[in-house]
Structure 1
Amino acid sequence: MPIKKIKNGRYKVDISIGSDPITGKRRRLTRTVSSKKQAEDVYYQLTQKYNRGQMLSIRDLSFDIIAELYLEDCKLHKKPNYYQNQQYLIHKHIAKNFKKSNLKKVTANDIRDYQQRLINSGLSNKSINNIMICLKCIFDKALEEHVITINPCNSVKNLPLDKKQMKFWTPDQFKEFISLINDEEEFLFKAYYTTGYLTGMRCGEMLALNWNDIDEYRREINVYKSLTYIDKEIVITEPKTKNSIRRISINSKLLALLKTWRKKQQLLFSKLNIPHSGNTHIFQYREKAPTKDIFSRRIRTICKRGELIPIRQHDLRHSHVALLIHQGEDYPIIKERLGHASIKTTIDVYGHLFPNKQKETADKLDDLF
């Protein structure tokens, strides 16, 4: 019987909630209450929850296990650098706070308290939001495993982000930067930064380029992969999005610059006894392709030689957009060169760099009358 009176006069509710999917053993749930009426109410509520699939699993999977299951999913379905980033966030910020937690009892208030502790630690709002997104994904995994019935992170809002002013170099500033580079000893860097400035390619996309990816006849660069390092090993993946797979037209001077670098690279490889071919990475100067950190650090080093304020390596992409706007190009052309999924993305990111577009549009209306 699901309801049974026990010796102390109380009533015990004992119901079956099916079989454990792992062990195959029957699972039971019991509650003890003070009256038969309460027992009947509890029996009805538990039965209804179970029938609607709302019953919590009695498999008490720990936070560590759920986190590992989530990371396994990331490793299988996400890009390697995303997996590495999630692994870092969990080990650095999340695991130590939730290691001993009972996932079934964690509430939205507990999550807000954790968010407040992150705020008090001095982390930026962007970093905190990234941690909270990762935490939500872990609880989503617990939901998927039927350990919990509701994700306590759902009602906790992200922190507001202050939009930082986008940095970029004007054509004159980039010319000044290039003039500070030593052609004899740093020609690689001249070729790399010029390619970034004149194509708007992402760092990983440029590092992944092989000589075979340049079509000299069409003067185009074929962009279809990205390079990163995971645990000191090179990992080649597809670019950021499907729309990032594209062909970028390049000007004659950039093509000539790259051809000059190729000859210098061949000579360098010959001295180092490294084979050179069309599959060699364009911006490679030793046996393995370089990391993006090398090019990031060198920007600051070069700028110290003059009075130019350094920008991030990724800001060369922003600088390319500013250059196109300076030349009068419109959104569709910029979208194609950057590999954005839609014009909306281009407008959302770079719309503020088009200060005169609305005025030009309004002035054109004068021609109608």
Structure 2
Amino acid sequence: MGIRRLNDGRFRADVSVGIDPLTNRRRRKTKTFDSKKEAEEWQSKTKQLYHSRKAISDRKISFTAIKDLYLEECKLHSKPNYLKIQEYTINKHILESFKNCNFKEVTSFDIREYQLKLINSGLSAKSINNIMIILKQIFDKAVEEQAIQTNPCNTVKNLALDNKKMKFWTPDQFKQFINLIDEEEFLFKTFYTFSYFTGMRCGEILALNWNDIDNFRGEVNVYKSLTYINKEVIITRPKTSNSIRRISINSKLFNLLESWKERQQNLFAQLRIHHSNDTHIFQYREKPPTKDIFSRRIQTICNRGELEPIRLHDLRHSHVALLIHQREDYATIKERLGHASIKTTIDVYGHLFPNKQRETADRLDDFF
């Protein structure tokens, strides 16, 4: 480390900046100046930067390398289905635009230009925001690896979202839907009824085995979720720790499950598939079904009548609307849905509750 005068009269400053962890060799920075004073000032500033761990690494780390590090971290700390979503989004929407980028030269302007490109592609604002979140996390990883000093995504704002009206079925609409289901579709009748009267997420329902039903207490034990990744069944913990819960079920729903269980046993006997309490409740062949089967069938059933279809997840919303109609409180609804806090319940479903100001105003009439 030092400053030396070159034959042409200029000065070259040399600074040691530690050991490269990948090569185990000492890393150095050198720069040439017209005067010794300039060389000394640069040398001093460079040492301060590196000692404060604020310097940008000299190693040229590619976007692909940082992306791989990010995905490796997702693999270690996230659910398999979350990792799959990250990989899909990066490969479909991000990689082509950034695979050849120079991290150090990417600016907030470039990120905004990319966001505009996504807007012009016709994607929804929600999808674009999700893509931008992943991009920001990749650049955060670049900062962590000292490939860049600041994240250019930090000053790029999310797009405003349109608050679409939540869809749900009233009890009468749900009865209309169930009455459109044929007798030979008993599995679907049971599944949709179970979803409507428990408010469980689809993955949670598909993961249920018969031994998750507590016959004595009339409860469902919710502690896992099912998804498919590359045609392979993956069982994971539910969405959050609060999603691990027990849900009481009504007697008519319990009887419906018992009727389906008997039919399932007969079906498995015909197919020569072993049936036990470890069998998935809504299984009708060797492997448990995917959510798409139940999602697509809603449209098919609704087409038989004049009922407007809703999404499969909207049955969860319909369950909440049913509970609110029964004047259940926030705390009860929170417990059944497995929300982390009552605030989450209020944020998502608060608009469905009766207007408390109207009730307050009506009570003031008693003073006249």
1:222 aligns with 2:221: yes
Distance between the aligned counterparts of 2:23 and 2:271, measured in 1? Answer: 60
Partner of 1:274, secondary structure, is coil
Look up the equivalent residue of 2:69 and give its one-letter code.
Answer: L
Alignment of 1:115-134 (within 5 A): 115-134=115-134
Distance between the aligned counterparts of 2:205 and 2:300, measured in 1? Answer: 21
Partner of 2:228, secondary structure, is strand
Aligned to 2:275: 276
Aligned to 1:179: 179
Partner of 2:90, secondary structure, is helix
Partner of 2:142, secondary structure, is helix
1:339 aligns with 2:338: yes
The structural deviation recorded for 1:317 is: 0.3
1:305 aligns with 2:304: yes
Q: TM-score, normalised by structure 1?
A: 0.96
Aligned to 1:146: 146
For 1:287-324, what per-residue CA distance to the aligned partner results, in whole angstroms no more than 9, with x for missing partners? Answer: 00000000000000000000000000000000001101
Partner of 2:59, secondary structure, is coil
Partner of 1:276, secondary structure, is coil
Partner of 1:4, secondary structure, is strand
The structural deviation recorded for 1:361 is: 4.2
Aligned to 1:49: 49
Distance between the aligned counterparts of 2:65 and 2:304, measured in 1? Answer: 52
Distance between the aligned counterparts of 2:254 and 2:73, measured in 1? Answer: 42
Look up the equivalent residue of 1:10 and give its one-letter code.
Answer: R
CA gap of 1:333–1:93, structure 2 versus 1, over 3 A, is same
For 1:311-340, what per-residue CA distance to the aligned partner results, in whole angstroms no more than 9, with x for missing partners? Answer: 000000000011011111111111111111
Q: TM-score, normalised by structure 2?
A: 0.97
Partner of 1:96, secondary structure, is helix
Partner of 2:30, secondary structure, is strand
Distance between the aligned counterparts of 2:9 and 2:121, measured in 1? Answer: 53
Distance between the aligned counterparts of 1:368 and 1:34, measured in 2? Answer: 89
Partner of 1:229, secondary structure, is strand
For 1:228-260, what per-residue CA distance to the aligned partner results, in whole angstroms no more than 9, with x for missing partners? Answer: 001110000111111111111111100000100
The structural deviation recorded for 1:366 is: 6.1
Distance between the aligned counterparts of 2:97 and 2:355, measured in 1? Answer: 50
Aligned to 2:197: 198
CA gap of 1:257–1:365, structure 2 versus 1, over 3 A, is same
Q: Return 133-142 or 165-174, whichever deviates more.
A: 133-142
Look up the equivalent residue of 1:266 and give its one-letter code.
Answer: Q
Distance between the aligned counterparts of 2:290 and 2:303, measured in 1? Answer: 22
The structural deviation recorded for 1:203 is: 0.3
Look up the equivalent residue of 2:214 and give its one-letter code.
Answer: D
Q: Where does the alignment leave 5 or more consecutive residues of structure 1 unmatched? A: none
The structural deviation recorded for 1:364 is: 4.6
1:241 aligns with 2:240: yes
CA gap of 1:367–1:237, structure 2 versus 1, over 3 A, is farther
CA gap of 1:356–1:84, structure 2 versus 1, over 3 A, is same
For 1:207-243, what per-residue CA distance to the aligned partner results, in whole angstroms no more than 9, with x for missing partners? Answer: 0000101111111111110000011100001111111
Partner of 2:262, secondary structure, is helix
Aligned to 1:60: 60
Distance between the aligned counterparts of 1:273 and 1:361, measured in 2? Answer: 63
Partner of 2:17, secondary structure, is strand
The structural deviation recorded for 1:33 is: 2.7
Look up the equivalent residue of 2:151 and give its one-letter code.
Answer: N
Aligned to 2:156: 156
The structural deviation recorded for 1:354 is: 1.0
Q: Where does the alignment leave 5 or more consecutive residues of structure 2 unmatched? A: none
Look up the equivalent residue of 2:227 and give its one-letter code.
Answer: T
Look up the equivalent residue of 2:84 and give its one-letter code.
Answer: Q
Look up the equivalent residue of 1:327 and give its one-letter code.
Answer: Q
Distance between the aligned counterparts of 1:343 and 1:363, measured in 2? Answer: 27
CA gap of 1:361–1:280, structure 2 versus 1, over 3 A, is farther
Aligned to 1:90: 90
The structural deviation recorded for 1:359 is: 2.3
Partner of 1:256, secondary structure, is helix
Aligned to 1:317: 316
Aligned to 1:107: 107
For 1:257-277, what per-residue CA distance to the aligned partner results, in whole angstroms no more than 9, with x for missing partners? Answer: 010000000000000000000
Look up the equivalent residue of 1:347 and give its one-letter code.
Answer: I
Alignment of 1:350-369 (within 5 A): 350-364=349-363
Cα RMSD of the aligned pairs, angstroms, is 1.5
CA gap of 1:83–1:368, structure 2 versus 1, over 3 A, is farther
Aligned length: 368
Aligned to 1:289: 288
The structural deviation recorded for 1:10 is: 2.8
Distance between the aligned counterparts of 2:23 and 2:108, measured in 1? Answer: 32
Distance between the aligned counterparts of 2:362 and 2:42, measured in 1? Answer: 73
Distance between the aligned counterparts of 1:201 and 1:362, measured in 2? Answer: 36
The structural deviation recorded for 1:55 is: 1.6
Look up the equivalent residue of 2:264 and give its one-letter code.
Answer: Q
